[in-house]
Structures are given as C-alpha cells and as structure tokens.
Amino acid sequence: MKKRAAAVLAAVCAVTLCLGGCGINQKATLVNVNDNECTITLGYGNFVAKYYQAIYENAYGSYYDDMWNQDLYGSGNTFQEDLKADILDSLQEEYLLKQHAADYGVELSEEETKAIKDAAKKFMEDNTDQAIKDMGATEEYLIDMLTYETYAQKVSEAIREKAELTVTEEEAKVRTFSYVCFSTADAEDDDAKMALKAQAQAVSEQNDFELSVSALGQTVEEYSYYPADTGMDEAVLSAADQLKKGEISGVIEVEDEGYYVIRLDSEYDEEASAEKLVELQEEQKNQYLQDVLAGWKEDMSWEVDKDQWAKVTFDQPFAIVESESEE
C-alpha cells in the first residue's frame, strides 16, 4: 500500500507581505477560494513548501541521492511533485476545517494562542537570516500556519467523534496460526514442485510442527487474522477457519506462491481482538472525516494557479543544525 507522508500544513487568507529572495512574486495569488472570498498567496504557499522541504531533507535526505527527483511512492511522479500535491490538499482541508470550527464548538484557548505566538517567535530567533530568507518565512506566516494546524487537529477530532461506529466484536475477532510455506518461486519444473509438495505433506502428517519444519530447513512464521482480513491468500485463511486450536492442516496450494501447512494456535486472541476492534473503529472515524471533507470540497471553488505553483521547487537544499538544548 502506498503510504504518503502526512505533512501538517495550513491555509491563510489574503497574506500580502512581500519578501525578498526565491525569485518569485510573493504577492501573486496561488489559490483563489470561492471566487475571491479568500486568496492564498504564492509567498505563503512557497513558505509552507520550503518548511516541509527542510523537514523531509533532514529526515530522509541522507538515504537518497537526488531525493526530490525520484519516484519514491511508485506514483509515476517525482517526490517533489507528490509532496507539492499533498501540500495543496492539506491547504484546502485545513482551510475548510477552520471555516467549520464553530459548527463543532471549536475555538482556541488563550493558552493555545499564546503558545502559537511563542513558538513562531522562537522559530524566527533560532534560524539564521539566510535560512529565513531562503524559506520565505515571517512570524505572521508561522502564526497562521500553527493556528490553522491547531484548528484542523481539533475540528478533525470533533468530526471523528461523531462517526457512527458499526463494527462488532465478532468482526474484530482475531485468530492466530503458525505456518510454513514451501515456496515454488525457484522451482524449475514440475518435479521440483512435486518434491516441495511432498515435504509439505510430510509436515502436515507430523505432531511436532516446529520440529518437522526445522528438520526440512524451513522456518515457522506466525500470522493473526480477522474475518475481513486480506493480507494472506483466501485459501490459507479459509483452511485456518476450519481448524481448532492445536490442529494442523493438510497441504494448501497457493498458485504462484507454493505449498502451505498451518497450525491453529488460538481460536480467539482476546488482547489482539480488543486492539483490532479499536483499529477498525478508528478506520470508520477516519473514513467519516474524509467523507465530510469530500462533501465540503464539492461545495466550494478552489482554483490553483498551476503556473505560479510550478515556480516553487526544491532545487536548493537546506542544512538543518540541531540545537544542543533539550528544549
């Protein structure tokens, strides 16, 4: 599954402060919201992009050569293109979440507002003038970003808590089995496959699962599953459903994989089932949040100036210097 880094970003309306550097028009409109109800400047979008460029380079830059021009997600796009797309998505969602804050009774406390201002001030003090210039940062930009981020977190959670949780304990019931797979990936012909199948058959007929598996130079693995699980081949999970605790299956053939033999270790893993129930409930909450956001997006106009956005690049790397202070 493709996993995108979830950049925490924010939108800001009608920011007009012009900064030097970067070779772009800071006042230019990047996003026009609802036919000029609100605009997001290229200067702010550039700052957010540069801010997260620095974070990603610090975290992953040493692992990749020319990181921004690689297709790290297998999307067919460069990492720069993927991150910039995520930034625009987050700008839109955080704008919407703050716009609907009152609908969910969300507001920032005096303590939260002060903490945001203090954090913005500290950021400006801790970075060099050159870094601030290259990033296009201002204290106002930082305050806006942190404000929208905080609103988005609080409103998102308020929405998630309104989700109808329909998953049952039975749907979250976890069973666990041990298994061995005699892989046919390197089998050159039918004779080789038949030899592997014979080994699997021998394991299925023994009482000591671990000993018989290790005697053949194979390794026992463990797998836990629940009714809607799709992480293992259906034939293997179906066979597991037919077993009682301690029982060993016959040979299970999985096309293009090999021959499986399994032993059921637990018909009901109470702790894992409780964790799975919470996980499935969280998935329902997250899906509800995404559905709400999708509905809001349909009801708004969000026009991005692609030519302006194309001017924002990650060609110039940042150097992150870690502070010696524990704080």
CA neighbours closer than 13 Å in the CB half-sphere of residue 20: 4
Query: CA 197 to CA 286: how far, in whole Å?
Result: 44
Contact at 8 Å (CB) between 152 and 293? Answer: no
Confidence (pLDDT) at 318: 80
Paired tokens of 53:
């460029």
Confidence (pLDDT) at 166: 97
CA angle 187, 193, 195 (to 5 degrees): 115
Conformation bin of residue 306: beta by default, left when phi > 0, alpha when psi is -120 to 50:
alpha
Confidence (pLDDT) at 15: 34
Three-state DSSP class for residue 181: strand
Select from 56, 134, 148, 42 the least CA-distant residue to 93: 148
Q: What is the pLDDT of residues 116-149, one digit of tens each?
A: 999 999 999 999 898 898 889 999 999 999 999 9
Q: Which domains are delineated in the chain?
A: 29-164+281-309 (1.10.4030), 175-267 (3.10.50.40)
Query: CA 148 to CA 167: how far, in whole Å?
Result: 32
Confidence (pLDDT) at 12: 38
Alpha helices in the chain, H assignment, sequence order: 42-60, 79-99, 110-126, 129-135, 139-160, 190-204, 209-215, 234-241, 270-298, 306-309
CA angle 263, 265, 267 (to 5 degrees): 115
Residues of the chain with pLDDT under 50: 1-22, 325-327
Average pLDDT, the chain: 90
Q: What is the pLDDT of residues 267-307, one digit of tens each?
A: 999 999 999 999 999 999 999 999 999 999 999 999 999 99
Confidence (pLDDT) at 321: 57
Contact at 8 Å (CB) between 159 and 292? Answer: yes
Query: CA 63 to CA 52: how far, in whole Å?
Result: 17
Confidence (pLDDT) at 23: 65
CA neighbours closer than 13 Å in the CB half-sphere of residue 252: 20
Confidence (pLDDT) at 21: 40
Paired tokens of 273:
């089932």
